[in-house]
């Protein structure tokens, strides 16, 4: 009888087991390839200084072709990367600059990276309740839903500030919003990123990369 109870207990614990490698594999499977992506997003920042909105449109086709448009109160610009060259267009003045491009990371590219487990050191998942697991790492703590195979929230803190990122999804499990709340002292800043479009870039015309 005792052996039977121990076996049941072991099986129950095993059923909750989830490895970090499995989580990373599931997230990678459900994500679009980062080198073949078309996306449109809107980011709104609310702070004590006021409200500011930035609109981003970005297309990547392979490692050497990147098309971006950024519109904000302080900038309105289009950048086109094709191989070792980059064309920058000021959309307010229509001034054009063609510059060498050596592969440096464009600011807009960071918007396509919504997975906190892509980098850094992380511990194995710890079961919390039902389908929710906690994954602690050097960058903070992620909460993963094993049933829907997605990150639900991410939190981090240091001596100066704490932050909480909440992810929401549509009925097809596509990421729709990412809301970040940062508290530093008595001040709170909220950054909301809305994913207006997210798809493969295979239908984007190659001729728009030519210049």
> Which pLDDT value is given to residue 64?
87
Q: What pLDDT, in 10s, does the model give residues 76-90?
A: 999 999 999 999 999
> Which pLDDT value is given to residue 8?
38
Q: How far is 40 from 57, CA to CA, in rounded Å?
A: 4
Q: Which two tokens stand for residue 137?
A: 């790492």
**Mean of the pLDDT values across residues 56-77?**
92
Q: What phi and psi values does residue 3 have, to the nearest 5 degrees?
A: -65, -35
Q: How far is 26 from 21, CA to CA, in rounded Å?
A: 9
Q: What pLDDT, in 10s, does the model give residues 9-32?
A: 333 444 457 999 999 988 887 766
> Which pLDDT value is given to residue 119?
80
Q: Is the pLDDT of residue 4 over 50?
A: no
Query: Residue 43 in contact with residue 195, Cβ under 8 Å?
Result: no
Output 119 or 113, whichever has higher pLDDT: 119
> Which pLDDT value is given to residue 110?
55
Q: Is the pLDDT of residue 111 over 50?
A: yes
Q: List, as one string, the DSSP characters of the chain.
A: -HHHHHHHHHHHHHHT---HHHHHHHHHHHSPPTTEEEEEEEEEEEETTEEEEEEEEEEEESSSEEEEEEEETTEEEEEEEETTEEEEEETTT--EEEEE---PPPGGGGGG---GGGSS-BPPPEEEETTEEEEEETTEEEEEETTTTEEEEEEEE-SS-EEEEEEEE-TTS-EEEEEEEEEETTEEEEEEEEEEEEE--TTS-GGGG--
> Which pLDDT value is given to residue 74?
87
Q: Is the pLDDT of residue 128 over 60?
A: yes
> Which pLDDT value is given to residue 3?
47
């Amino acid at each position: 009888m005792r052996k039977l109870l121990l076996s049941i207990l072991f099986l129950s614990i095993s059923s909750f087991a989830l490895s970090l490698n499995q989580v990373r594999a599931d997230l990678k499977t459900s994500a679009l390839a980062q080198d073949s992506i078309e996306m449109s997003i809107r980011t709104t920042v609310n702070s004590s200084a006021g409200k500011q909105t930035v609109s981003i449109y970005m297309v990547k086709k392979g490692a050497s072709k990147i098309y971006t448009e950024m519109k904000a109160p302080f900038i309105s610009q289009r950048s086109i990367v094709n191989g070792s060259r980059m064309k920058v267009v000021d959309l307010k003045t229509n001034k054009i600059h063609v510059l060498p491009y050596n592969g440096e990371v464009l600011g807009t590219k960071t918007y396509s990276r919504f997975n906190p487990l892509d980098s850094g050191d992380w511990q194995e998942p710890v079961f919390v309740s039902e389908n929710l697991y906690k994954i602690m790492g050097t960058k903070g703590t992620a909460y993963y839903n094993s049933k829907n195979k997605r990150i639900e929230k991410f939190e981090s803190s240091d001596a100066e500030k704490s932050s909480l990122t909440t992810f929401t999804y549509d009925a097809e499990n596509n990421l729709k919003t990412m809301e970040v709340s940062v508290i530093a002292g008595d001040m709170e800043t909220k950054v909301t990123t809305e994913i207006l479009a997210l798809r493969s870039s295979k239908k984007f015309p190659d001729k728009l990369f030519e210049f």
